[in-house]
Structure 1
Amino acid sequence: MLNATEQNRCFFEQMQQPNLIRNVQTDFVLYQQGDVLVPTSVNEAHPDNGWVVSPLTQIIGYAQDELPKLRSVALRALSRILIAVLSGPLRLAKLDRLQVLNNQCLSTNVYSDQWQHLNLAQLRQLAVEKFPHHTVMLRSLNATQNAAIIHQAQQDGWLPVVTRQVYLYRDHDRWWARHNARIDDRLLQQPDWRFQLLDPNDKAQMARAERLYNQLYIDKYSRHNVQFSADWFRVFSANGLLELYGLFYRNQLVGIAGLYGVDQTLTAPVIGYDTDQPIQRALYRRLIAFVIRYAMDRQLTLNLSAGSPDFKRRRGGEAAIEYSYIYVRHLSFYRRSVWRLLSGLSRYFYRPLLERFKL
């Protein structure tokens, strides 16, 4: 994989191409502090913008997606009214007038070791001077991996907003001690199954990769998830930003795992499989087993993001509360107040729910 400087420059250059991510409408600027390059998304409000650049989508869009799961008709109706009532004040606060530092537009942004020595206050000042009416955000921070960044943010007056509970794998012995982990790892040795890097110049493979990802993350989970195009798979793979592996069963491509990392940190923002395949083929278990084995063999810290919490705990995942940190001191009183309210609600109501129910 590329080093941090090469990766950030390459990412910034590739994201100048339009429509690589179908549901993300944003521009990119490149900040620099010494040798550290910081690609940053900058946007206003766009309807149904991807949640990686849109707090409105993350709050309102996903809430709307959850409504059909409520069995009670009355509760669904009440929830729909509450969402509508909240939507107006949040839009008035211009939550989506936003710049996100180090935004890779993935479910989990990763931070290089360079961030341990970066002066966050100076970077924030540069960002505010360039876009004085935009909220400044850092996504995907947790105390286990990003304690130094969080400390600087707290010292500089940033607000924490709890976003999710993610699962980390950084201890080979903890992983291997779990019975489920060892069972899944044996799946990687079965005949008729193999993993191999996909060819970015093979248009059919890239189109198939997009379809497999969409079957899981868009069709099954939510249309608000990041919608990577076949061109995104091609460009990011060809330029060394993504290691895209295919899972083949008897030479048929039935699953994909895309790995994105820097220094000693790895994440798997792309997981997809043919949801029409029989459940007995255990495609999701095979893909996750491959990703964890890849990280453990290379002594990397794997951030396996949120979702499927019980599944991940049973395979040795360590829970960590994830935050976005927000800088709003330069904004109007109303906009600051809304962000402070969201920060308080997330810390005192949402976080206890995540921890109590092990979500």
Structure 2
Amino acid sequence: MILYDATTIHTAPFPDTAEGRGLRSFLVPLVQHGPGPWFEDRASMFVLGLDDLLIPLSVTDGTFGNSVLHSVYERFIGSQRKAIRTGNWKPLAGFAASSALWGVGAVMKTLRLDKAVQVDCWPSLRNAGADLTADQARRLTAFLTTRFPDHAPYFLAVNPVTHAALLNHLQTQGYDFAYMTHTRMMLPFEPELERRVRENRRRDARLLEPSGYRVVDARELPGCAPRLAELYRRLHREKYATNPPISVTYMEEMLAGSLLDVRALVKDGRVDMFYATVVVNGVMFSPVSGYDTSLPQEVGLYRLINNLLMRDAQARGVMLETGGGADPFKTLRGDRPVPRYNAVYLRHLPSWRHTPWRLAMKVGNEQLLPFSRKRLHAVDGEANVVGFDRVPEVFAPTLPTPREATARQEQELTELEQDLARTEVFSGNERVRHLGALRKRLEDEQLPPARVAPLLERWEHLSHAPQADKKEKRKAQRAVRAELARRLLETATTVGDTTVVCHHLGDGLDFQPRTLAEQLRKGTGSIAVVLTSTRDGTLELVTALAPPLVERGLEARRLLEQMVPPGGAGREGGAELAWAEAALPDDDVSAVLERARAVLHTRLVIPT
């Protein structure tokens, strides 16, 4: 193992990848200058090389005044007292609780709770910790207790959804656990998402377009770091006082680096909101954000920022950690509560040094955990609050792991592709039914738009293909009828001044004979048309007369009656066009046509 400090951090073997370069841009200045320029905290920063891992360490020597990023005391005492002051506590109850915490905190300070080594210290980031193997956890603990024998190694805010295996390995090594409050997570895809959750998400998504805001890359806004720091301060220091300070320097180096994506909402040339994101171990998190709290609540900036984060995570197919706080709002958007624990190793320290940590465990496990459970039961319902009964003997994920959650979304996309392929073999109403069901699934906002777009194109093609096929079929039928009409006219006879078409069209036509008869009737001045065809053992007959013949007293329906044998099927139509179906005659079909010719020759003037 190699321990890199401020003088050697530049030699650490960061991977030559986009992610590796992003980590370098974050860790190198942090180790070289400490957390002071970014967070106003005092700590010595190191990076430990363990196998192929680079693990940041924060070493504090028991002095106090740090933020929650580098102080266990501030996590369990200072921030809780601030929350009591700014919360809805009754004066007497708040005074009693705050006083009790003050007394416990005084003991913690005296017994140097914060003389510790924070392992996997990624200040402002979450879920960035390495998922150590059992052997790595053993070797790391042995190294730290040897290199820093007077310090307590601890892991901060580890949750069982992303790091259940790590928690179990640490437990095996003799670490103790203190509940540290909850966070919340949103899955990228849930097949049975509640209707109210979908409606709330859609309502939030409609806020952006009419708001007049543009979402831009904050790196395209030169000199915006002071404004970002101001927005962070307004939201996270003035409105919510328990968060750590973050400086303009942090914002400048965040924008200069490549680890975080930073988006800003701009309107009339002014930045009113921003958020940064990073994806680590399959979970997206926003380490820093802010908005102008002086704007009216009706603008909906808080709803906007949460919806944009959700859409970014779903577009990448990853889980989203939304953090604690605003539980009633977040549960209505489908976020789930997840417990977090501090894990500390004390076996190498004298017993008096155990005392402040035992007090932290008492506060966390006997006060904060029951309080969280009761409050979350009221907000989320007992069925959705898992893992808050006690510190478990064996840690297990309380939600699908990031890998499982991503696999769910991927499975839905794969099934959509397969169902689209199967739909290609369907036709008619069956295809329409399948396409309707597929469209509803493709419109699920949980699916990444970039992945859904080609599937929607295939859906559009499949939905329009039958119409295109019908259009082409009708076009082909028109061409066939036009050619057939041309040939029939070429072989027609003339009786007086009238063109007479009497013809048997054969069996199994792709169109109705009366369509062709109507076409012929309208195409020539004085014409009489008699057509027959057979279909499934039935004789189809149609007669058509041009208007001049009707004016002379001829009727298509009467002509049809004289052609059809007695007892034939019912006839339809009128003077100009008539049609019927009848059983095939015993004699040849040509006999039917001959009867029609005889009638026409009798009624029409035949030249002498």
TM over 0.5: yes
1:184 aligned to 2:204? Answer: yes
Picking from 103, 127, 150, the partner of 2:121 is 103
SS of residue paired to 1:307: coil
Residue 33 of structure 2 is matched in structure 1 by 17
Residues 76 and 360, structure 2, Cα contact 8 Å, conserved in 1: no
Structure 1 residue 32: Cα displacement: 1.0
CA distance in 2, matches of 1:114, 1:8: 17
1:165 aligns with 2:218: no
1:44 aligns to 2:64 (yes or no):
no
CA contact (8 A) 2:76 2:364 kept: no
Would you say the 8 A contact 1:67–1:79 is kept in 2? no
CA contact (8 A) 2:236 2:243 kept: yes
Is the deviation greater in 57-66 or in 114-123?
A: 114-123
State how far apart, in whole Å, the 2-side matches of 1:210 and 1:228 are: 7
Q: Whose radius of gyration is greater, 1 or 2?
A: 2
Correspondence 1:61 to 2:78: yes
Report the CA distance shift for 1:39/1:257 in structure 2 as closer, same or farther (over 3 A). Answer: same
Alignment of 1:282-297 (within 5 A): 282-297=300-315
Change (3 A) 1:318 1:261: same
The equivalent of 1:195 in structure 2 is: 215
Show structure 2 runs of 5+ residues with no match. Answer: 1-15, 380-608
After superposition, the Cα gap between the structure-2 partners of 1:2 and 1:268, relative to the gap in structure 1 and judged at 3 Å, is farther
User: Contact 2:131–2:166 at 8 Å: present in 1 too?
Assistant: no
**Which of 313, 321, 327 is matched with 2:331 structurally?**
313
Deviation at 1:24, TM superposition (A): 1.6
Q: Bigger shift: 167-176 or 302-311?
A: 167-176
Q: CA deviation at 1:58?
A: 1.8
SS in 1 for 2:58: strand
Tell whether 2:229 aligns with 1:213: no
Q: Structure 1 residues 4, 137: CA separation in 2 closer, same or farther (over 3 Å shift)?
A: farther
Matched ranges for 1:24-35 at <5 A: 24-35=41-52
Tell me the secondary structure at the aligned position of residue 37 of structure 2.
coil
1:272 aligns with 2:290: yes
1:176 deviates by 8.2
Are residues 291 and 87 of structure 1, via their aligned partners in 2, closer, same or farther at CA, if it must alter by over 3 Å? same
Q: Indicate conservation of the 8 Å contact 1:169/1:318, yes or no.
A: yes
CA gap of 1:124–1:346, structure 2 versus 1, over 3 A, is same
**Could you tell me which of 241, 245, 265 is aligned with 2:259?**
241
* Residues 241-287 of structure 1: per-residue CA shift (max 9 Å, x gap): 22121112343210111113324221112121101101110001101
CA contact (8 A) 1:102 1:138 kept: yes
Asked if structure 2 preserves the Cα contact closer than 8 Å seen for 1:188 and 1:290, the reply is no
User: 1:340 maps to which residue?
Assistant: 358
| 1:218–1:80 CA distance, 2 compared to 1 (3 A) | same
Higher relative contact order (CA 8 A, sep 6+): 1
1:298 equivalent among 316, 325, 335:
316
8 Å CA contact retained: 1:2, 1:241:
no
- 1:26 CA drift (Å): 1.1
Structure with the largest fraction of helix: 2
Q: CA deviation at 1:89?
A: 1.1
Is residue 68–residue 76 contact of structure 1 (8 Å, CA) maintained in 2? no
Residue pair 2:128, 2:280 contacting (<8 A) in 1 also: yes
Over 3 Å counting, the alpha-carbon distance change for 1:2 and 1:242 in structure 2 is: farther
1:132 equivalent in structure 2 = 149
Structure 1 residue 344, shift from structure 2 partner: 4.2
How far the C-alpha of 1:44 sits from its partner, in A, is: 1.9
Of 12-21 and 266-275, more deviation after overlay is shown by 12-21
Deviation of residue 338 (structure 1)?
A: 3.2
**TM-score normalised to structure 1 length:** 0.91
Are the equivalent residues in 2 in contact too, given 1:257–1:272 (CA < 8 A)?
yes
Greater alpha carbon shift after TM alignment, 63-72 vs 134-143:
63-72
Alignment CA distance shift 1:207-1:337 (3 Å):
same
Count of equivalent residues: 356
Instruction: Report if aligned partners of 2:211, 2:299 keep a CA contact under 8 Å in 1.
Output: no
Is contact 1:170–1:299 with CA below 8 Å preserved after alignment? no
For residues 71-150 of structure 1, the aligned pairs below 5 Å read 72-106=90-124, 109-111=126-128, 115=132, 119-150=136-167
| Rounded Cα–Cα distance in structure 2 between residues aligned with 1:260 and 1:249 | 25
Q: Is 1:102–1:109's contact at 8 Å kept on the other side of the alignment?
A: no
**Secondary structure in 2 matching 1:173:** coil
Task: Tell me the distance in 1 between the aligned counterparts of 2:303 and 2:17.
Answer: 28
Distance 1:103 1:113, change over 3 A: closer
Whether the 8 Å contact between 2:212 and 2:267 is mirrored in structure 1 is yes
Deviates more, 1:76-85 or 1:349-358: 76-85
- SS of match in other structure, 2:57: strand
CA distance in 2, matches of 1:12, 1:352: 37
Identity %: 20
- Aligned amino acid, residue 64 of structure 1: R
Distance in 2 (CA, whole Å) between partners of 1:340 and 1:2 is: 43
Q: What CA deviation, in whole Å up to 9, does each residue of 1:133-192 have, x standing for no partner?
A: 111111121111111111111111111111111111123236685121121122233351
The separation in 1 between residues aligned to 2:137 and 2:153, in whole angstroms, is 12
Supply the distance in 2 between the matched residues of 1:151 and 1:191 (Cα, whole angstroms): 48
Structure 1 position 297, deviation (Å): 0.8
Judge conservation of contact 1:33–1:118 (CA < 8 Å) in 2.
no
Of 110-119 and 22-31, more deviation after overlay is shown by 110-119
SS in 2 for 1:189: helix
Amino acid at match of 1:50: S
What SS does the corresponding residue of 1:219 show, helix, strand or coil?
helix
Q: What is the root-mean-square deviation of aligned Cα atoms in Å?
A: 2.4
Is the Cα–Cα contact under 8 Å of residues 23 and 259 in structure 2 kept in the other structure?
A: no
Say which is worse superposed, 260-269 or 175-184, in terms of deviation.
175-184
Unmatched segments (≥5 aa) in structure 1 = none
